[in-house]
Structures are given as C-alpha cells and as structure tokens.
Amino acid sequence: MAKGFSLIELAVVICIACVVLALTLPRSAHFMDWIATDHAVRQVTTALAVARHGAVMQSTRARLTISGDSLRIDRLVGTAWVPWWRQSGPAHLGVSLRVSNPVVQFGPNGIGWGASNTTVELRRGSQVETITVSRVGRVKHW
C-alpha cells in the first residue's frame, strides 16, 4: 500500500480551506481595524507617559503635541522649548485622530500645566477608541 495522500484527498482539503477562508475574510477587516486602533492607543498613551515621567525626572515642564502625523515631546530649558522625543503619529496606521487639546503640558511634579484636560479619539473603520487625560495627569482608555 502506498503512503501519502491521493489527489482527491488533497483537492477536498483545499476546497474546505477555501470555504473557510471565504467565510472569515470579510470579518478580518474589522479585526485589522481593531489591531490598528489598539496600536495607535498604545502609541499615544506611551507618549503621554514619557512626557509626564520626563517632566518629573528632569524637574522641568514637558509638552506633548499630538497630531495625526507625529507625537512630539519638548522640554522647557530656560525659556525655550527644546525637542526631546519624536514618534510617528496614528496616521501612518490609517487611524484618524480627533483631539480636544492637541498640546498637553506636564509640570515638574507630573501634574498637568494649564488647560491639560484632553480627550483623544482614534478611529479606523467602525472601531473607535477614546483616551482621556485629567488635570492631575491620569490617563484613562475607554
């Protein structure tokens, strides 16, 4: 008796795989939207944490500028803002951004400086994620 698969068995397995793929492919678009927005949420929350902790560690003010194409953190040195940290924004993931206050500043004690209450909404397809930053520097992902 010969070992291996016959041509008919192989054809049946390929047909089953094609049917499963045809059923799951339309649902993968929502999954890809979820992955992209989740990655963008992590980028923004990381930038907020770096800005806050950087302000505390350097005993200075730090500001995070949130835009679609970049996340930028600057430190206050003397009377001038000096670039400190840069990262690409959520637009490179195909995620759109809506932010109530695009500039978030943290003081040397980690508390928000000025009008720091901010809501960041990240959207791709039907997937929407919201991040809020309070005056005391707390970050909440909804």
Q: What are phi and psi of 115, to 5 degrees?
A: -80, 85
- Assess if residue 73 is contained within a domain: yes
Residues 52 and 129: their CA atoms lie apart, in Å, by 21
Per-residue pLDDT at 27 exceeds 90:
no
Question: Which tokens belong to 8?
Answer: 């008919």
DSSP string, 85-137: EEEE-GGGGT-EEEES-SEEEE-TTSSB-SS--EEEEEEETTEEEEEEE-TT-
Per-residue pLDDT at 137 exceeds 90:
no
- Assess if residue 85 is contained within a domain: yes
- Assess if residue 34 is contained within a domain: yes
- Assess if residue 115 is contained within a domain: yes
Number of independent structural domains in the chain: 1
Give 116's pLDDT tier (boundaries 50, 70, 90): low
CATH number, domain with residue 36: 3.55.40.10
**pTM for the full model?**
0.80
Per-residue pLDDT at 112 exceeds 70:
yes
pLDDT tens-digit series, residues 42-87: 999 999 999 999 999 999 999 999 999 999 999 999 999 999 999 9
- What domain range is 39 assigned to? 30-141
pLDDT tens-digit series, residues 78-106: 999 999 999 999 999 999 999 998 999 99
- Assess if residue 42 is contained within a domain: yes
- Assess if residue 121 is contained within a domain: yes
Residues 27 and 30: their CA atoms lie apart, in Å, by 6
Q: Which residues have CB under 8 Å from 52's CB, separation 6+?
A: 62, 106, 110, 137
The predicted pLDDT at position 139 comes to 86
- Assess if residue 90 is contained within a domain: yes
- Assess if residue 51 is contained within a domain: yes
